Structure 1
Amino acid sequence: MSDQVVEVAGLRVSVGGRALVDGVSFGLGPGEVVALVGASGSGKTTTGLALLGEVPAGAEVSGHVGVKGRAGFVPQHPGAVLNPVRRVGSVLRELAPAADVERAVDVARFPRSLLGRYPHQLSGGQQQRLVLAQALLCDPAVVVADEPTTGLDRGTRDEVVAEFARLAGRGVALVVLSHDMDVVRALADHVVVLRAGKVIESGRAAEVLLNPKHPYTRALLVEPVRSAAGSEHGAERLRIEGLTAHHGRNVVLDDVSFAVSAGECLAVMGRSGSGKTTLARCVVGLHPPTAGTVALDGRPLARTLRSRDRTDLAAIQYVFQDARASFDHRRPVLDQVARTAALLRGMSTADSVAAAIAALAEVRVDEPTARRRPATLSGGELHRAALARALLAEPRVLVCDEITTGLDAVTRASVLKGLAALRETHGVTLVVITHDHAVADHLADRVVTLHEGRVTAGAPRTRSETP
């Protein structure tokens, strides 16, 4: 009898005659870690969900999937599995006794002090650690982790990776779906490379990562070429002055001030929970500040979206960290992207759809894919669609919250190149919320670092800087 915890043989998942996964096979023993890698849409998430018995609606499934014991799941987009109207601690305590909840949140490095908060009051990194704790409550034999370090700063990422390594050391099998090759190198015993649903290379991690045989695998391992930040900028475009914001009684931002010029890129960095996403939401009007101002081209803006006119709404656009949550799951992606052009630029229905198709093509989302509903697109495809939707408004300021999160190296390089071109050709101001030092090094003229809601540093970057 096999001692493997996971057995996948000849797995095929198709929807409407289109194969999402085609002939995938691998096995996993107790305490072993397999990493499924590949570009967006390669079939990683479909394969991982099949281990949990989850397949897309209307899918045809063949082959064999066997899992011994319970399986836990850490999703790429934690907000999708958190109840927005329930305090997170009360939900966990319905799943397990209080002592087990405390043990799980401690293991996941989720502070007990935050159990009284709602999901929207947590940073992306805090949400990710919370869903890890939730997965651990079932005492799983295998954990499927879909981009488990999404949105985490380097220090927190290392802590999460170390915890996964400890789980494996206790005999828990791990299936890690990731674009982050540092995470793969740190954790994986085996690597399976997927492209268009097929396995194109697999083997021991050391062999695949150090001596890849397929050109596609080599492309996935390439980091984006770093470029010097631009030195010529226009007049001041965006000014944040004395910005203070709360979540309930908790101060999340405390007297934050900085300015960004036309065509400049400012990277906002800091650990999970430092206030980066709340700052972004204040800038675009999604979170009303307690005090302070957000000014565009020298003119203070209304504190909330509802109070801003169409011109101001178009002028500052936001690309969310959780792209999936930013789309209505009931409507085709193309319709939602086109709506931006119709509402903010006054285009006709036909013209807005044509403009949306063109914008989506520029970020490598073709029309047939865009005409599907969000649930059938990969995380990377939705991230690129969200970027296209924001750019359709022809913004003067683009706020990008973890813009490269969950993107493979090839797609990430393409997105960074596109953002750099946007600055140079249209003078768009970029505010990039990121944990990725390589992204800041590639794009940013200056970096502002937040710690516990306050600005602790703001300095120019040069080509010679090392992250």
Structure 2
Amino acid sequence: MSLVQVDKLSATAGDAVLVDGVSFEVVAGEVTALVGASGAGKTTAALALLGECGDGVRLEGNVEVAGEKVVGANGVTGVDVRGRVVAYMPQHPGSALNPARRIGTTLRELAKLHDGDPAAALRTAQLPTETLKRFPHQFSGGQRQRIALAQTLTCRPRVLVLDEPSTGLDSITRLRLVHELRELAASGLGILLLSHDLDLVRALATRVVVLDAGRVISDVLPPTAEPATSLGTSATGQPLLKAMNLSASLRPRGRDLVLHEVGLAVRAGSCLGVVGRSGSGKTTLARCLAGLHERHTGTIHLGDHLLPVLRKRTREQHRRVQYVWQEVRGSFDERRPVDQQVARTAERLRGLTPEQAYAEAVATLARLGVAGITAARPPSRMSGGELQRAALARAVLAHPDVLICDEITTALDDRGTALVLDLLGELKARGTALIWIGHDLGLVAAVADEVLVLDAGHVVEQGPPATVTTAPQHDLTRQLVAAAHLTPPVLSLDTRSEPRR
């Protein structure tokens, strides 16, 4: 039975065409996937199922959900299907979670409205019951993704729209997600999956619609894109950034530790990879190094100097250590075009004139595949992948000595990932020290000179990528290797493109 019928859907914003004549359906008990590069129109098409669109965007065509017309000849009809018929989980769930309310309070209210079962939703989203007592800020990006899924499932929808649901998930959790989504579809739920993760699409999708620049170009799964570029060789010399006995807590007076006596060192021109499951402490570690998490003990050195928390760092220390976090949308001002915000970094931290900074910003964004006409938009009119690259460009314009990258390719297709790695490879060759935090051990092993594995805030394994992936010593590392189906990575000695296994 067809739950969703989309026929010749178009979305325009002034003269810009965002979606052009797109048609697809979602059938009960099946998964329909919309795939395509970042900015292809996937999210715009999906939101049309709810009768929603961005400011200044007009929808045309025909969208019917469970027999109710949501978009018709005159645009949005005003029929409300959110929650009771269609539930939507956004790509970056942080903005969808109320920071002032405990998770349990929200889930219980949704359950009362929709006669849902919070406990069953938590089990499906792979979350423990103690999740109910905590606030959104106390979770990692991957955990917030699963909390948003639990909220969505509590509404007991007939159609589930998932926008990049594997973003921020480690490979083990992703495999379990596949199993749970298969069971949901088998129960009669219709699922619309938006993803650039072709492995996830292959594992789940019954129907595949490929979008490019807002148009349907194929209804079959495309071949895997060209592999991403390796970052290159390790460097020698004294550590540029060093942390010793680093412990961190979420609450005052050292309670609720999430990092335990972590030590690391990264040299100029080298890349340290940090991997682990969602909630293992990867983002907390990154925030400590960036000076954003103040509840920590231990020491952090930049060269020979002690590095304080961010509010006590000098402008030069701020410039030298830059952090690109996982959920970037909230870091942009909705009232200003993105390209101006990217340029501001070079003005503020390097003293460039506005004209010089803007020219460098546009050039860096273009190199990352974000066109000038796109970057001139406000954040709400850019895709998650485009904003992720804009956040990287903003950090790169500071000309940092240390660049901390927290899951910065999760919203990117293979082409976008390759563009990011090409740029980072060049920075690394110039002497920039990189800290690459990720859940994809295969990618981390291909780009890093040293890999550090975290489990529940403890360093459980550390060593060269080839050793960690071929002879793992800890059970978690073995699980990560098995989940990623890894073979020994190919490590390049330069920044030329090579196969990534």
Fold conserved between structures, TM > 0.5? yes
How far did 1:385 drift? 0.6
Among 346, 360, 363, the alignment partner of 1:358 is 363
Structure 1 residues not aligned, in runs of 5+: 203-207, 210-216
Amino acid at match of 2:261: D
* Alpha carbons of structure 1 residues 194 and 410: separation in structure 2 relative to 1, 3 Å: same
Inter-partner Cα distance in structure 1 for 2:382 and 2:262 = 37
CA spacing shift, 1:397–1:228, aligned 2, 3 Å: closer
Q: 1:223 deviation in Å?
A: 4.9
Select the residue among 418, 422, 443 that pairs with 1:417.
422
Structure 1 residue 155 displacement after superposition? 0.4
1:84 aligns with 2:99: yes
2:398 — aligned with what?
A: 393
Deviation at 1:99, TM superposition (A): 7.5
**Pairwise CA distance, 1:53:** 1.5
How far 1:225 sits from its partner (Å)? 4.6
Shift of 1:128: 0.6
Q: Judge conservation of contact 2:367–2:419 (CA < 8 Å) in 1.
A: no
The alignment partner of 2:119 has SS state of helix
Output the amino acid matched with 1:160. L
Q: Name 2:282's counterpart in structure 1.
A: 276
2:238, 2:267 within 8 Å by CA — same for their partners in 1? yes
1:439 to 443, 461, 479: 443
Alignment of 1:116-127 (within 5 A): 116-127=133-144
Aligned AA (2:299)? T
CA distance in 1, matches of 2:416, 2:272: 22
Alpha-carbon distance in structure 1 between the residues aligned to 2:422 and 2:457: 30
Say whether residues 1:465 and 2:491 are aligned partners. Answer: no
Describe the SS at the equivalent of 1:272. Answer: coil
**What is aligned with 1:383?**
388
| Separation (CA, whole Å) in 1 of partners of 2:378 and 2:440 | 30
Residue 256 and residue 168 in structure 1: after superposition, are their counterparts in 2 closer, same or farther (change >3 A)? Answer: same
SS at match of 1:458: strand
Deviation at residue 175 of structure 1 after TM alignment: 0.5
**Which residue in 2 is equivalent to 1:113?**
130
Distance, in Å, in 2 between the alignment partners of 1:286 and 1:84 is 18
Which residue identity is paired with 2:325?
A: F
Alignment partner of 1:253 out of 256, 259, 268: 259
The superposition leaves residues 311-353 of structure 1 with CA deviations (integer Å, 9 ceiling, x where unpaired) of 0001111111112122122221112111111211122223222
Q: Distance in 1 between matches of 2:283 and 2:327?
A: 11
Cα separation, 2, equivalents of 1:389 and 1:252: 29
Shift of 1:162: 1.2
CA deviation after TM superposition for structure 1 residue 380, in Å: 1.1
2: CA distance, partners of 1:404 / 1:225? 11
* Partner secondary structure for residue 5 of structure 1: strand
Shift of 1:171: 0.5
Amino acid at match of 1:339: R
Q: Which residue of 2 aligns with 1:370?
A: 375
Correspondence for 1:93: 108
Counterpart pick for 1:322 among 309, 324, 327: 327
Secondary structure of the corresponding residue to residue 412 of structure 2 = coil
Query: How far apart are the structure 2 equivalents of 1:439 and 1:432?
Result: 10
Return the letter of the residue paired with 2:63.
V
Kept after mapping to 2: 8 A contact 1:126/1:273: yes
Structure 1 counterpart of 2:422, which letter? Answer: K
Separation (CA, whole Å) in 2 of partners of 1:20 and 1:225: 27
Q: Which position in structure 2 is the counterpart of 1:56?
A: 54
- Cα RMSD of the aligned pairs, angstroms, is 1.7
Q: How far has the Cα of 1:85 moved from its partner?
A: 2.1
Which secondary structure does the structure 2 equivalent of 1:158 belong to? helix
1:153 maps to which of 165, 170, 174 = 170
Question: Which shifted more, 348-357 or 132-141?
Answer: 348-357
Q: Distance in 2 between matches of 1:223 and 1:359?
A: 22
Whether the 8 Å contact between 1:269 and 1:450 is mirrored in structure 2 is: yes
Distance 1:91 1:194 in 2: 35
Distance 2:300 2:364 in 1: 29
Give, in whole Å, the separation in 2 of the partners of 1:256 and 1:440.
19
Greater shift, 264-273 or 22-31, is seen at 22-31
Match of 2:292 in 1: 286
Q: Offset at 1:298?
A: 2.4
Q: 1:226 to 1:442 in 2, by over 3 A?
A: farther
- What residue identity is the alignment partner of 1:301? L
Which residue of structure 2 aligns with residue 345 of structure 1?
Answer: 350
CA displacement at 1:354 relative to structure 2: 2.2
Does the 8 Å CA contact 1:320/1:326 hold for their aligned counterparts? no
| Alignment partners' CA distance in 2, 1:7 and 1:239 | 56
Task: Name which of 238, 241, 256 aligns with 2:241.
Answer: 238
What is the alpha-carbon distance in structure 2 between the residues aligned to residue 256 and residue 297 of structure 1?
Answer: 18
Partner of 2:471: none
Distance change >3 Å, CA 74–CA 349, structure 1 → 2: same
**TM-score, normalised relative to structure 1:** 0.93
Which moves more between the two structures, 391-400 or 350-359? 350-359
Q: Equivalent of 2:307, from 283, 301, 304? A: 301
- SS of the residue aligned with 1:31? coil
Change (3 A) 1:223 1:402: farther
Change (3 A) 1:114 1:241: same
d(CA) in 2 for partners of 1:7 and 1:233? 59
Contact 2:283/2:406 (<8 A) preserved: yes
The counterpart of 2:214, out of the listed 197, 200, 213, is 197
What SS class does the counterpart of residue 157 from structure 2 fall into?
coil
Query: For the residues of structure 2 that align with 1:28 and 1:227, how far apart are their CA atoms?
Result: 38
Amino acid at match of 1:23: G
Answer yes or no: is 1:336 the counterpart of 2:330.
no
Mean CA deviation greater in 344-353 or 225-234: 225-234
Report deviation, 1:361: 2.0
Q: Which amino acid aligns with 1:47?
A: A
Distance, in Å, in 2 between the alignment partners of 1:348 and 1:185 is 49
- The worse-fitting range, judged by mean Cα deviation, of 450-459 and 415-424 is 415-424
2:78 maps to none
In the other structure, the counterpart of 2:147 is 130
Aligned letter for 1:239?
A: K
Partner of residue 7 from structure 1, selected from 5, 9, 13: 5
CA distance in 2 between counterparts of 1:124 and 1:86 reads 17
Q: Retained in 1: the 8 A contact 2:231–2:428?
A: no
- Please say if residues 231 and 425 of structure 2, whose CA atoms lie closer than 8 Å, have aligned partners that are also in contact: no
Letter in 2 for 1:34: T
- Distance (whole Å) between structure 2 residues aligned to residue 274 and residue 284 of structure 1: 18
User: What is the CA distance between 1:106 and its match in structure 2?
Assistant: 1.8
